[in-house]
Amino acid sequence: MIDIRHDLHRNPELGFEEHRTARKVAFELKSYGLEVHEGIGGTGVVGILRKGRGNQAIALRADMDALPIHETSSHQYCSTTSGKMHACGHDGHTAMLLGAAQFLSEKKSFDGTVVFIFQPNEENGLGAAAMVKDNLLEKFPVDEIYGLHNLPGAPLGAFSTRSGTICSSESLFEIRITARGGHSAMPQKGVDAILVGAEIVQAFQSIVARKMDPGCGAVVSITEFTTNGRRNVLPGKAILKGDVRARTPDDREQIKSHMQRLLNGITQGHDVAADFSFNTEFIETINSAEPTQIAIQAAKKISDNVNGDREPMSFSEDFALFSQEMPGCFMLMGNGTEGAHGKPLHASDYDFNDDALTIGAAFWAQLVANRLPE
């Protein structure tokens, strides 16, 4: 698993470009004797392992894509592709699931079918939809699905999840303000787009602070503010872009409604026009009760550090689409607290912990043993 992980780390590929990664995954699965299907949802790979006569089927999912980040690590297996790296641990997720596939194919008896899903393009929230559109669930029907993600800063071997919302949604918004620019010495002759935009920025920060339940866990962030102003020219146009995280669809819609109402009031007060778009890239990841309990019990078999009722995470996950289509559970696993293993996800000096590989693979094997007992 370490060799596979390091090879994938040296050769990162972005979403829907995982051609080399997919070939390697398919090669490994075939070498274990699995039935392999390639090109699902573009570059996705599916492996099928059947044992016994049981009719129950479960899916185990890993993501394969890297990020457009220039790696600043100093280890011996750094990315060989400038501007691309595995900064979210998908190299480790893929290696763990391959390790579990090999172990289950050779040594572990169970009764039923395990579908190993290697998903492309998780980072952009497009891979799961592409696989579903390619009839993944019709071609390989399963009763439930499970996902596993590393968590830097959590102790190695620690597991955590919860029933209900485990990851927030992500919605991207954009506001295009059309005001009336003018001379900076005569601001009364026009309408300053910066002033309008600044009011919007401040007003939006009141949404979570004063219009939502204090415990809702929502986040509203303005991440870009650009104008066409110059040294002595008041801008007539401004673009605001940002990001909204929410733990429930209702909260997400409430935030959108508040944003639209505040925007309308501010722009009308300044007699300017504004176009507003709000697009949800990732829906909330919601764990079903029964699969979550099954995953917790599997984790407890291999770890004495298991939290089955953790706080929801503010990041988003493409696994959400799978768990919307069928019962599922998304589990988090500690990556360690020291050095590169404790760096935040998407940091240029983050690294997946090789010591977590056997822990993750053991979790997968235990989950299959528990859910598909011989």
Give the pLDDT of residue 158.
98
Asked whether the predicted pLDDT for residue 330 surpasses 80, the reply is yes
Q: How confident is the model at residue 85 (pLDDT cuts 50, 70, 90)?
A: very high
Spatial contact of 13 and 90, defined as CB atoms under 8 Å apart: no
Asked whether the predicted pLDDT for residue 83 surpasses 80, the reply is yes
Asked whether the predicted pLDDT for residue 238 surpasses 80, the reply is yes
Question: What does pTM read for this prediction?
Answer: 0.93
Report the distance separating Cα 227 and Cα 243, nearest Å: 19
Report the distance separating Cα 322 and Cα 144, nearest Å: 9
Give the pLDDT of residue 107.
84
pLDDT digits (tens, 9 = 90+) for 122-164: 999 999 999 999 999 999 999 999 999 999 999 999 999 999 9
Strands 219-227 and 144-151, bridge-based pairing: unpaired
Give the pLDDT of residue 93.
98
pLDDT digits (tens, 9 = 90+) for 260-278: 999 999 999 999 999 999 9
Architecture of domain 169-282: 2-Layer Sandwich (3.30)
pLDDT digits (tens, 9 = 90+) for 88-107: 999 999 999 999 999 999 98
Answer yes or no: is 93 a known binding residue. Answer: no
Asked whether the predicted pLDDT for residue 109 surpasses 90, the reply is no
Answer yes or no: is 341 a known binding residue. Answer: no
Pick the CATH number of 1-167+285-371 from 3.40.50.2020, 1.10.540.10, 3.40.630.10, 3.40.50.2000: 3.40.630.10
Q: How high is the mean pLDDT of the chain?
A: 97
Report the distance separating Cα 359 and Cα 332, nearest Å: 12
Three-state secondary-structure class, residue 261: helix
Give the pLDDT of residue 108.
74
Give the pLDDT of residue 257.
98
pLDDT digits (tens, 9 = 90+) for 176-235: 999 999 999 999 999 999 999 999 999 999 999 999 999 999 999 999 999 999 999 999
User: How much of the chain is helix, strand and coil, in % rounded to 5?
Assistant: 35, 30, 35
Give the pLDDT of residue 286.
97
Residue 273 DSSP label: E
What is the largest distance, in Å, between two alpha-carbon atoms of the chain?
82
Answer yes or no: is 346 a known binding residue. Answer: yes
Please, which residues have CB within 8 angstroms of residue 32's CB and are 6 or more apart in sequence? 47, 49, 101, 102, 105, 106
Please, which residues have CB within 8 angstroms of residue 374's CB and are 6 or more apart in sequence? 52, 109, 110, 111
Give the pLDDT of residue 217.
94
Q: Domain map of the chain by residue range?
A: 1-167+285-371, 169-282
Answer yes or no: is 123 a known binding residue. Answer: yes
Please, which residues have CB within 8 angstroms of residue 95's CB and are 6 or more apart in sequence? 1, 2, 4, 5, 8, 357
Answer yes or no: is 149 a known binding residue. Answer: yes
